[in-house]
């Protein structure tokens, strides 16, 4: 079977990119709809102590009023109290222990030194004591049933006959021993210690607690309890407009909601419910695609990035669906803020907020108190995005977590006060799910790393690591090409300040600036900033060869960067920082010295491409300005200003900024920043 070349595969992917996008959208919508619970949505939201602002709610059918949880708990407690613990009586134990007593007496009698005439008296007395104890019954008290006192009622089963008694009428082993001690004391002719020792060794419990039978009876009585109290008839007013939702009205509304959902589950058309969910989820995913098409075309055109976004959305909603199926006690345990944090760090703020709103809107259809849920999660999501607007340090994750927790707390306190009207009735334990959710949100950090590796994306976290000057390539450059390293640092400072002013990714442009000249590491002495002894190796080379050595630092830099696994987005700065400009020094030198010779200009021209992002365009300008400023013999305000204006004009005239999306207004801002910073670098005194 013929194998397609990589270029052919890419061409096919571009050709069918739109079809692939639609397929991914369909798969995403299908998975979400499949995972979501298939039930009709109750059309009203209600809370205790609020005013019912809807129209009069009339019951469309008869339904029972459900008991509240405290009422059901009280009924269960009363029902369980009516079940007495069951004890099984061992009728054989009395005879067994009497025979055992006889054997013990025979063994120990000869060494006791007692009167043989009293042997039968000892035997008969022991028999009678054991029989009396076992006839009455010996048991072990169960602490579970000693709630109202030490003794409690029991039911004794003996030969399939049930007898109700109280433990006060029965023996424990301790009581049985005390009874025998008392009875033996009435017979002074007998050795009390000898006889009591023999008898108590044969006193065992003959009433055994039957846990299984008792539990079965308890289960039967609790299962047979009614969970309803009263009925609402068809046509009755469940609640009138303007009424306060008190406890009674709330229970009626809750009962109506349960009856509505049960009725919809039994009689509703599941296909129509499925269609409704498909339409709702479909329109939200479509809105997301429209947003990407209008405002983030770069992401829209990259199906790899679109698939990542759809995966994150699907995973979050699938997690919610799983929580609903598992009947999680509180849906606020789910870390909804993890979605905006991941999208913000991997993409941008607008996209993160847009996606978070869409996820919350879908989730709101399937969680109780939808408005409260939306308020909690939208505010927390917005704060999570704002708190990491500029990710510079890792600890910002922890700071963001604290800010999100505080936002949840303020929202929780506000909603609780609106609902309760007092601090005393607020159940602070209800805030625990929010705290757990924030802790789980910290999982965003490893997930971001995973997404970066799987989808080949570079986040701000990776850029922070790359801009560390202790990174291997930068350490090598600082040692092998110190002049280039210092140049790169200055370029990074210029470019970072400029891009921050006109709007762009400052971390990205700094990383690109630090690595843009790493190709010079291989032949550092061929670049003037590394020549400290006055020796210039270009003096012995033809101009064409010198130009090619200079130009090759771009291709060598790309090669070194890929070997070091630098992200492609950073490698783009190496590729584009000279665009397709000429190495003018050697080109003009060749023309001056060999005017009669024909020369191919491309030998002296960088291969390009020209910068295709705002960040890359700013880096090109910063690189040229910083390098040229080193040639100023007496840098002052005027010379620096002329230099910056000349270089920026030259880049414009050479069409190097055509694809960089930098406006003329941006260029004026960039020039002012470059001039101010260069004057500061060269300690130029400004006239006031």
At 683 the pLDDT is: 65
Calculate mean pLDDT across residues 227-255: 83
pLDDT at 1: 38
pLDDT at 431 over 50: yes
Residue 275 pLDDT: 87
Specify the pLDDT at position 345. 86
Do 218 and 80 contact (CB within 8 A), yes or no?
yes
Tens digit of each residue's pLDDT (9 = 90 or more) over 642-653: 999 999 999 998
CB-count exposure of residue 504 (10 Å: 0-12, 13-18, 19+)? buried
Structure tokens at 307: 């698939």
pLDDT for 547: 84
Residue 5 has pLDDT above 50, yes or no: no
Q: What is the pLDDT of residue 393?
A: 63
> Rounded distance, CA 110 to CA 113, Å?
6
Comparing CA positions, the residue from 622, 612, 623, 620 lying closest to residue 671 is: 622
At 296, list the tokens. 């983030």
User: How high is the pLDDT of residue 448?
Assistant: 85
Confidence (pLDDT) at 454 = 85
Say if residue 688's pLDDT is above 50. Answer: no
Per-residue pLDDT, 108: 86
Reported as a pLDDT band with limits 50, 70 and 90, residue 298 is confident
Other CB atoms within 10 A of residue 393 CB:
10
Instruction: Please say if the pLDDT value at position 618 is more than 90.
Output: yes
pLDDT tens digits for range 664-678: 999 999 999 999 998
Residue 327 pLDDT > 90, yes or no?
A: no
Q: Output the average pLDDT for the chain.
A: 85
pLDDT, one tens digit per residue, over 580-604 is 888 877 777 777 777 777 777 778 8
pLDDT of 321 over the 70 cut:
yes
Is pLDDT at 527 greater than 90 in this prediction?
Answer: no
CB neighbour list of residue 642: distance below 8 Å, 6 or more residues apart: none
Q: Are 618 and 495 in contact (CB under 8 A)?
A: yes
Work out the burial of residue 30: count CB atoms within 10 Å of its CB; fewer than 13 is exposed, 13-18 middle, 19 or more buried.
middle
Please spell the DSSP secondary structure of 517-557, one letter per residue. Answer: TGGGGSSGGGSGGG--SS--GGGGS-HHHHHHHHHHHHHHH
Give the whole-angstrom CA distance, residue 595 versus residue 306: 56
pLDDT digits (tens, 9 = 90+) for 49-83: 777 777 888 888 788 888 888 888 888 888 888 88
Give 54's DSSP letter: S
Distances (CA, A) of 624 to 367, 490, 573, 619, 646: 58, 11, 14, 9, 11
Query: Which residues have C-beta within 8 Å of that of residue 551, sequence separation ≥ 6?
Result: 583, 604, 605, 606, 607
For residues 411-426, average pLDDT = 80
Choice between 674 and 389, residue whose per-residue pLDDT is larger: 674
Does pLDDT of 460 surpass 90? no
Joined together, the tokens standing for residue 215 give: 């539990």
Sorting pLDDT into bands at 50, 70 and 90, what band is 264? low
Find the helix or strand (DSSP H, E) in which 225 lies: none
Structural element, H or E, at residue 649: helix 637-653
pLDDT band, very low/low/confident/very high, at 514 (cuts 50, 70, 90): very high
Query: What is the rounded distance in angstroms from the CA atom of residue 24 to the CA atom of residue 306?
Result: 8
- Distance in angstroms (rounded) separating the CA atoms of residues 309 and 477: 37
What value does the CA radius of gyration of the chain take, rounded to a whole number of Å? Answer: 43
Higher pLDDT, 72 or 687: 72
Average of per-residue pLDDT across 31-41? 78
Percent of the chain with pLDDT over 70: 93
What are the residue ranges of helices labelled H in 331-471? Answer: 338-346, 349-363, 370-386, 396-420, 432-441, 444-455, 460-466
Q: Choose among 256, 251, 267: nearest CA to 39.
A: 267
Q: Average the pLDDT over each of 43-52, 185-194, 435-444, 569-578 and give the range with the smallest value.
A: 43-52
Contact between 680 and 494 (Cβ < 8 Å): no
The Cα angle at residue 47 between residues 69 and 415, in degrees rounded to 5: 110
Contacts of 506 (CB under 8 A, 6+ apart): 390, 496, 499, 500
For residue 162, give the H/E element and its range: strand 161-166
Q: Which of 368-377, 397-406, 418-427, 474-483 has the lowest mean pLDDT?
A: 418-427
| Separation in Å, CA 383 to CA 337, 344, 356, 371, 569 | 9, 12, 12, 18, 28
Q: What is the pLDDT of residue 6?
A: 47
Give the residues across from 372 on adjacent strands. Answer: none
pLDDT (mean) for 526-544 = 78
pLDDT at site 389: 67
Q: Average pLDDT, stretch 28-35?
A: 89
* Residue 2 scores a pLDDT above 50: no
Full-model pTM: 0.64
| pLDDT above 90 coverage of the chain, percent | 27
Cis bond before residue 565 (omega within 30° of 0): no
Looking at residues 479-488, what average pLDDT do you find? 90
């Amino acid at each position: 079977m013929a194998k397609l070349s990589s270029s052919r595969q890419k061409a096919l992917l571009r050709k069918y990119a739109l079809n692939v996008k639609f397929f991914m959208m369909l798969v995403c919508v299908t998975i979400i709809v499949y995972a979501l619970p298939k039930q009709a949505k109750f059309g009203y939201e209600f809370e205790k102590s609020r005013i019912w602002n809807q129209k009069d709610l009339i019951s469309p059918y008869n339904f029972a009023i459900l008991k509240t949880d405290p009422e059901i708990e009280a009924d269960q407690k009363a029902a369980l109290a009516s079940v007495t613990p069951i004890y099984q009586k061992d009728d054989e134990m009395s005879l067994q222990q009497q025979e055992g007593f006889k054997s013990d007496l025979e063994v120990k009698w000869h060494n006791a030194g007692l009167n043989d005439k009293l042997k039968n008296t000892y035997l008969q007395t022991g028999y009678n004591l054991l029989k009396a104890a076992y006839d009455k019954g010996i048991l072990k008290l169960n602490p579970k049933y000693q709630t109202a006192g030490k003794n409690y009622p029991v039911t004794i089963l003996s030969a399939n006959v049930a007898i109700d008694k109280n433990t006060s009428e029965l023996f424990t082993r301790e009581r049985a021993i005390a009874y025998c001690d008392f009875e033996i004391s009435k017979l002074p002719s007998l050795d009390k210690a000898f006889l009591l020792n023999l008898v108590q060794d044969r006193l065992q419990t003959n009433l055994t607690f039957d846990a299984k039978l008792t539990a079965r009876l308890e289960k039967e009585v609790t299962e047979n309890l009614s969970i309803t109290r009263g009925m609402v008839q068809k046509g009755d007013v469940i609640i009138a407009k303007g009424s306060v939702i008190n406890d009674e009205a709330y229970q009626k509304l809750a009962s109506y909601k349960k009856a509505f959902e049960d009725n919809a589950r039994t009689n509703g058309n599941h296909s129509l419910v499925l269609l409704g969910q498909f339409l709702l989820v479909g329109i939200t995913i479509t809105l997301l695609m429209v947003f990407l098409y209008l405002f983030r075309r770069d992401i829209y055109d990259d199906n790899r990035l679109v698939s990542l976004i759809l995966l994150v959305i699907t995973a979050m909603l699938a997690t919610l669906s799983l929580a609903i199926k598992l009947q999680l006690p509180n849906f606020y345990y789910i870390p909804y803020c993890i979605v905006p944090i991941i999208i913000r760090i991997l993409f941008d703020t607008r996209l993160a907020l847009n996606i978070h709103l869409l996820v919350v809107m879908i989730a709101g259809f399937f969680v109780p108190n939808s408005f409260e849920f939306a308020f909690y999660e939208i505010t927390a999501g917005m704060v999570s995005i704002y708190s990491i607007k500029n990710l510079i340090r890792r600890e910002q994750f922890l700071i963001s977590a604290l800010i999100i927790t505080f936002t949840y707390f303020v929202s929780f306190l506000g909603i609780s006060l609106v609902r309760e009207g007092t601090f005393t009735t607020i159940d602070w334990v209800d805030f625990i799910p929010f705290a757990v959710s924030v802790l789980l949100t910290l999982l965003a950090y490893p997930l971001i790393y995973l997404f970066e590796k799987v989808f080949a994306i570079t986040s701000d976290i990776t850029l922070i690591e790359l801009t560390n000057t202790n990174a291997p390539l930068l350490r090598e450059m600082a040692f092998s090409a110190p002049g280039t390293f210092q140049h790169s640092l200055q370029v990074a400072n210029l470019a970072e300040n400029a891009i921050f002013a006109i709007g762009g990714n400052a971390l990205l442009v700094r990383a690109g600036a630090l690595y843009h000249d790493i190709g010079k590491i291989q032949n550092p002495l061929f670049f003037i900033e590394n020549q400290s002894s006055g020796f210039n190796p270009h003096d012995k080379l033809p101009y064409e060869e010198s130009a090619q050595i200079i130009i090759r630092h771009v291709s060598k830099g790309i090669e070194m960067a890929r070997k070091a696994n630098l992200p492609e987005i950073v490698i783009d700065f190496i590729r584009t920082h000279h665009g397709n400009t000429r190495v003018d020094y050697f080109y003009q030198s060749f023309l001056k010295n060999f005017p009669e010779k024909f020369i191919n200009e491309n030998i002296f021209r960088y291969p390009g491409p020209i910068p295709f992002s705002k960040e890359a365009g700013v880096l090109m300008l910063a690189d040229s300005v910083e390098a040229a400023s080193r040639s100023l013999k007496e840098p002052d305000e005027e010379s620096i200003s002329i230099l910056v204006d000349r270089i920026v004009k030259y880049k414009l005239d050479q069409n190097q900024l055509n694809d960089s999306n930098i406006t003329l207004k941006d260029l004026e801002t960039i020039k002012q920043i470059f001039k101010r910073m260069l004057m500061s670098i060269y300690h130029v005194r400004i006239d006031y």
